[in-house]
Structure 1
Amino acid sequence: MTPRSSLNIPCATDDPSLPTPCLLLDEARMAGNIARFNRHLARQGLAARPHLKTCKSMAAAQRLLRTPAGPATVSTLAEAEYFAAQGVTDICYAVGIVPDKLARVLGLRRGGTDLSVVLDDPVTADALNTAAKQLFTDGDAPLPVLLELDCDGHRSGLDPAGDELLAVAAIVRASSFLELRGVLTHAGAAYACGDTAHIAALARQEGEAAVTAAERLRSAGYDCVVCSVGSTPTALLGEYPQGVTEVRAGVYPFMDLTMCGLGVCTTDEVALSVLTTVIGHRRQDGALVVDAGWMALAQDRGLDECFPKWGFGLPCTLDGTPLPGLRVSECNQEHGIISIRPGEAVPSPALHERFPAGSRLRILPNHACATAAQYDVYHVLRQGQIMACWERIRGW
């Protein structure tokens, strides 16, 4: 991590006291992305439960949350513990729970955090109930449970129209330690589309799956207060049916090249980038060698099968302007190769003349979550200057 004391803030991105690679966050772009997201939901009468798995920073999260206490979504218990310590007390842990994590969940709840969990399997529900018998004390309130739904065959979850939905709900209701709070789904298939109309249709499908499951549960006599949906593409490109109560998404404040490829945003709206330095040139073709390899950019190729033009990232000038015809074509652990895309004209002057060793560039990431996960701190840009450092947390 770059200590705050090592930088004279404010500083420029070409300041030699700023080591590379490092993670830059354009605050104005982030603010614009957040405002757009909130406006789109407000038009539908919906509220966000922001997913904090991407930002992993209280300084960033406070710009997303409706109130200092939340609501919020997390993907790890480390995130839940960190944000709870910062006063966020309404949290959904939106990854399937297993019994060996129950002690940490109870620790958070006993500390005053209304933490809900997710499950999608009767065996897990039984095992969680068994573990709860050993861990719960007389003062512990029942643990709120959301049933995860499969709305598109992408990853996990219960069939909204299947018998197992009601079977798992019955196990939860029979337990003295669990209580059913609602249903939750995620339109993961939206990340495999290149058609904005298709993504909009998936938003409707996502919402209808959740509403269908919620109505089935209510008809069977179960409480189902929460009907939770969300992914950045569907949330921004579609609209949800009546009955959805909240929308979870995490990439929207930052955006990335995957979102660009899906038609969710433009490169001018990507708020995250990696600052890198040219450390040499490849002799056979004049490509740039930079100090941002896959440890700095991550190995996620985004939508490479549909949008191969960006490779491991899109090179930009220091002011964030994309460099026409260039991409990060190769990555080793600490070396990145920036070369001319196939079919593009060779620029003049040549790359090695335009960008000698020591030159600095910015690289837009394919996947904001994966790239940001490599770093312990954001270097926050305001009007082209680094004006603050926001610490990030990592781990599980």
Structure 2
Amino acid sequence: MMNLADLTTPYLLLDPDKMRANIARLQSHMADLNVPLRPHVKTAKSVDIVRRLFPTGSGPITVSTLKEAEYFGAHGFDDMTYAVGISPDKLPRVARLIRSGVRLSVLLDSKAQAEAVVAFAKRDNLALPVLIEIDCDGERAGLRQGDGKIVEIARILHENKQFMGILMHAGGSYHCPDKAAKEAAAEHERETAVAVRDELLAAGLPCDVVSVGSTPTAHFAKDLTGVTEVRAGVYVFHDLVMAGIHVCKLEDIAISVVATVIGHRPDKGWIMTDAGWMALSRDRGTAKQEVDQGYGLVCAMDGTPYTDLIVTNTSQEHGVLSIRKGSKAKLPKLEVGSKVRILPNHACATASQFDGYVVPDGDDLVYWPRINGW
């Protein structure tokens, strides 16, 4: 048996009870709306976690890298959407996955990509399903509703029996702090998707897949009529960005970085730890929110946040803890060797700094590996 005090810091701690509650919350909401969930595994990147999303099955899932697709394919997941625009050089890896038995859909938003995919599929005699990416809010890649290229590209793909449907991500929902704004973002995402589907149907083109999703819109959608699936990923853990826009509470955040106090700078009001940006990442996703959490919110080992104590600066292996600017709180007494937990701004970015999760399991600890890279 090991205990947390035996482990070398920094390490990534996962609270399985909080994770299970987060999973159950969104699954229940999707069940109420009668729409299947295609979880985005880019946050967890661990089969030990993703299996807990499917207690009686193995998918469907969304991936962000082909390495994820290969990893999850090797563990029996055989229905995937690769939700990053396809580049022609990756098509041979896609082909190998499909030939191994994985149903892998790819994503694109240009005629050049469509023609490259069609040519490759013909040359390799390959059934390669394709989704067209739609931009619903100006936040990322994709074609806007009403753009004639949507029908043109869909027709190229349909004539070669490759067109499956459309996919979009409401990235703008990450800037919606109040409930009404998140609900409006979810409805706008749905309305855009349905309008594009109707344009395709009017042009005589089938559109079997209407895929939408982001963690905020998934949680705040009130109506998903016309949508065939929802994608979300960070909901499994949540993070300070999600807490900052009131998708979750601080106590819902399931992962934290455990760090050790290694020194003090009383002249500057600093406590130094061994968790710098190599552990926490450089993500500053809360910087423009109502409450700026620096590089992470500092908690005691029982998960209780210290009043206004945040990671205000980082270098590669050093983290600087200090009191939030403007606060009248006092630095806690944390001696050298003390352990703290740091809640992450962006769960995906912070988790990617580690090779796996330390998970309390009753009186023992287990280690769940994860993959990184492309």
- TM-score, normalised with respect to structure 2: 0.97
Separation of aligned partners in 1, 2:155 and 2:98: 24
- Alignment RMSD (CA, Å): 1.5
SS in 1 for 2:194: helix
Separation of aligned partners in 2, 1:309 and 1:120: 35
329, 334, 337: which one aligns with 1:355: 334
Shift in Å, 1:194: 1.9
Q: Which amino acid aligns with 2:180?
A: A
* 1:159 lines up with 2:138 in the alignment: no
Separation of aligned partners in 2, 1:165 and 1:381: 49
Gap change, CA 1:319 and 1:386, over 3 Å in 2? farther
343, 347, 365: which one aligns with 1:364: 343
2:121 counterpart residue number: 132
Separation of aligned partners in 2, 1:286 and 1:115: 53
CA contact 1:79–1:393 (8 Å) conserved in 2: yes
Shift in Å, 1:71: 0.4
CA contact 2:35–2:224 (8 Å) conserved in 1: no
Shift in Å, 1:173: 1.9
CA contact 1:68–1:87 (8 Å) conserved in 2: no
Seq. identity, %: 48
Q: Which amino acid aligns with 1:44?
A: L
SS in 2 for 1:79: helix
Provide the aligned length of Structure 1 versus Structure 2.
374
2:356 counterpart residue number: 377
* 1:117 lines up with 2:106 in the alignment: yes
Q: Which amino acid aligns with 1:34?
A: I
SS in 1 for 2:236: coil
Separation of aligned partners in 1, 2:168 and 2:289: 25
Mapping 1:268-283, distance limit 5 Å: 268-283=251-266
22, 29, 33: which one aligns with 1:40: 29
Long gaps (5+) in structure 1:
1-7
Shift in Å, 1:208: 1.1
Separation of aligned partners in 2, 1:34 and 1:71: 15
2:134 counterpart residue number: 149
Separation of aligned partners in 2, 1:112 and 1:223: 25
The runs of 4+ residues in structure 1 deviating greater than 6 Å are none
Separation of aligned partners in 1, 2:48 and 2:77: 12
Q: Which amino acid aligns with 2:132?
A: L
Separation of aligned partners in 1, 2:348 and 2:179: 22
Q: Which amino acid aligns with 1:42?
A: A
Long gaps (5+) in structure 2:
none
Shift in Å, 1:303: 2.5
Identify the range of structure 1 (90-99 vs 67-76) with the bigger mean alpha-carbon deviation.
67-76
Mapping 1:1-20, distance limit 5 Å: 8-9=1-2, 11=3, 13=4, 15=5, 17-20=6-9
SS in 2 for 1:324: strand
Query: Once the two structures are superposed, what CA deviation does each residue of 1:223-246 show, in whole Å capped at 9, x if it has no partner?
Result: 211111000011112223311011
2:194 counterpart residue number: 211
